[in-house]
């Protein structure tokens, strides 16, 4: 009977009551706020809705990875901002990880100079607020760059100037075939390596897997160039005069200084934290492990690669995930130096032009939440993969 089920003496039912009350209370708070917002907005003549996303944005954006101009919609502008946020975060995470690992290992180096330089780097960049570092790179460091007519030239195919870094543009024919060949190469490398491991473990045979992999990576795409009609040409940036003293570069691709400054600041800053994680991870591996490895005749590099790192990674990954999340969220400081990320483009210009604060702020918050959760899920998967496999 239903009464028996909800009997107060039934422990299960009793435990459910406080939880049900909590959920009810939470729901009513949310409903209260939502209704209030609706009434207040109604009183003030503000409508609520997401229809504006289809309206023409009518503002331009400096830098976009997809086709965009002001005749596209606000929804498209959102996408441009989102992709720019993802781009700078990905670049930041990539360089922060490499620098973090290098600096972290350097801090433990026996070489006094290397260890000290790494230590100073960590202490300086970790302790200066990120926004100041962004301003430093953008307004101080990049300001020292020359105007286009005196741009720093790299073999006359690439130019670094205050207006950006102009690099050659890749013009592909049959890019899809090339892409497929690269994927094929990686699949081949995977099988070569697992075959090599098997041979080593079962028969003690050493196969030079690294060299074979490398050859495959070069050879397979090369075939597409020779036989499958893939070709690549470059469009080089050329100095162009706009007026007696105003110059710019035409052609090629311009990497805007805002992106360079932001990516530099984010990776330099986050690398310090990752370096500390790496150091902690390495120091966290028992001394006995290294001594045991040394006693069976492994050299220093082998000890690091085969014994220390696999164990250290388990300590390093979880806190490093946090740093990746921080970096992604910190990229919202882009607005300060006009890098068109989602905050500047969408929560900035679009909010201003449409006046739809509640809608736009909620979309932006939800976007960051989704980005962060995606990174978390990926890193948790990687962490699980690296965890000790009990045999």
Partner 1 sequence: MIKSIKTWILVGFASLLLVACGQGGGGAGSKKSKTLENTKKAGFVKCGVSQGLPGFSNADASGNWSGIDVDVCRAVAAAVLGDADKVKYTPLSAKERFTALTSGEIDVLARNTTWTLSRDADIGLTFVGVNFYDGQGFMVRKNSGINSVNDFKNGISACTNTGTTTELNMRDFFNSKNISYEPIAFEKADEVVQAYDAGRCDTYTTDKSGLAAQRTKMSNPDEHKVLPETISKEPLGPVVRQGDAVWEDIVRWSLNTMIEAEEYGVNSSNASSLKDSENPAIKRLVGSEGELGAAFGLDNDWSLRIIEQVGNYGESYKKHIADTGILPNRGPNQLWTKGGILYVPPAR
Chain contacts with partner 1 (rule: CB under 8 A): 33-34, 36-37, 39-41, 43-46, 58-62, 70, 130-131, 134-135, 139, 143, 147, 162-163, 240, 242-246, 248, 250, 257-258, 332-333, 335-338, 340, 343-344, 347-349, 351-358, 361
The set of long-range contacts for 300-307, using a CB threshold of 8 Å and a minimum separation of 24, is 304/105
| Residue with Cβ nearer partner 1 (141 or 177) | 141
Q: Least distance from C-beta 44 to partner 1, angstroms?
A: 4
In sequence order, what E strands does the chain have? 152-154, 158-161, 164-167, 169-173, 231-235, 238-241, 247-250, 253-255
Whole-number minimum distance, CB 138 to partner 1, in Å? 8
Beta carbons of 266 and 331 less than 8 angstroms apart:
yes
Give the shortest CB-121-to-partner 1 separation in angstroms.
23
Q: State in angstroms the smallest separation of the CB of 58 from partner 1.
A: 5
By C-beta, is 263 or 303 nearer to partner 1? Answer: 263
Q: Which two tokens stand for residue 143?
A: 């300001």
Q: Please, which residue, 51 or 318, has the CB nearer to partner 1?
A: 51
Minimum gap (Å) between residue 347 Cβ and partner 1: 8
Cβ distance to partner 1 smaller for residue 19 or 243: 243
Rounded to an integer, what distance in angstroms lies between the CA atom of residue 116 and that of residue 122?
10
Cβ distance to partner 1 smaller for residue 70 or 310: 70
Beta carbons of 260 and 165 less than 8 angstroms apart: yes
Q: What is the DSSP letter of 150?
A: G
Helices and strands in the chain: count of H runs, count of E runs: 14, 8
**Which one, 100 or 148, has the nearer CB to partner 1?**
148
> Who's near 265: CB < 8 A, 6+ residues apart?
130, 133, 134, 136, 137, 138
Q: How far is CA 344 from CA 14, 85, 190, 352, 367, in A?
A: 51, 10, 42, 10, 14
User: Shortest Cβ distance from residue 163 to partner 1 (Å)?
Assistant: 6
């Amino acid at each position: 009977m239903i009464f028996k089920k909800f009997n107060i003496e039934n422990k299960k039912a009793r435990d459910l009551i406080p939880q049900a009350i909590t959920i009810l209370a939470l729901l009513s708070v949310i409903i209260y706020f939502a209704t209030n917002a609706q009434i207040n907005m109604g009183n003030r003549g503000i409508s609520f809705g997401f229809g504006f996303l289809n309206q023409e944005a009518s503002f331009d954006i400096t830098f976009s990875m997809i086709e965009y101009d002001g005749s596209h919609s606000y929804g498209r502008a959102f996408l441009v901002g989102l992709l720019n946020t993802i781009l700078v975060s990905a670049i930041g995470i990539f360089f922060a990880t490499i620098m973090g690992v290098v600096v972290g290992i350097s801090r433990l180096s026996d070489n006094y100079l290397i260890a000290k330089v790494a230590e100073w780097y960590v202490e300086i960049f970790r302790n200066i607020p990120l926004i100041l570092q962004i301003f430093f790179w953008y307004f101080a460091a990049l300001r020292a760059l020359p105007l286009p007519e005196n741009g720093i030239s790299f073999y006359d195919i690439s130019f670094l100037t205050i207006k950006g870094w102009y690099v050659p543009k890749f013009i592909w024919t049959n890019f899809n075939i090339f892409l497929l060949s690269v994927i094929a190469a990686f699949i081949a490398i995977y099988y070569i390596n697992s075959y090599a491991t098997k041979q080593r473990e079962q028969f003690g045979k050493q196969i030079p897997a690294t060299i074979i992999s490398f050859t495959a990576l070069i050879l397979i795409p090369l075939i597409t160039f020779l036989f499958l009609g893939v070709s690549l040409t470059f469009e080089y940036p050329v100095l162009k005069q706009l007026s007696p003293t105003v110059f710019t570069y035409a052609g090629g691709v311009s990497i805007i200084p805002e992106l360079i400054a932001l990516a530099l600041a984010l990776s330099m800053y986050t690398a310090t934290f990752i370096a500390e994680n790496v150091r902690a991870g390495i120091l966290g591996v028992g001394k006995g492990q290294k001594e045991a490895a040394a006693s069976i005749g492994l050299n220093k590099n082998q000890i690091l690669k085969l014994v220390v790192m696999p164990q250290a990674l388990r300590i390093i990954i979880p806190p490093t995930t946090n740093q990746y999340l921080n970096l992604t969220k910190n990229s919202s400081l882009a607005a300060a130096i006009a890098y068109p990320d989602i905050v500047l483009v969408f929560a900035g210009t679009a909010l201003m032009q449409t006046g739809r604060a509640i809608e736009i702020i909620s979309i932006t918050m939800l976007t960051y939440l989704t980005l962060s959760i995606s990174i978390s899920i990926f890193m948790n998967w990687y962490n699980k993969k690296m965890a000790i496999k009990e045999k």
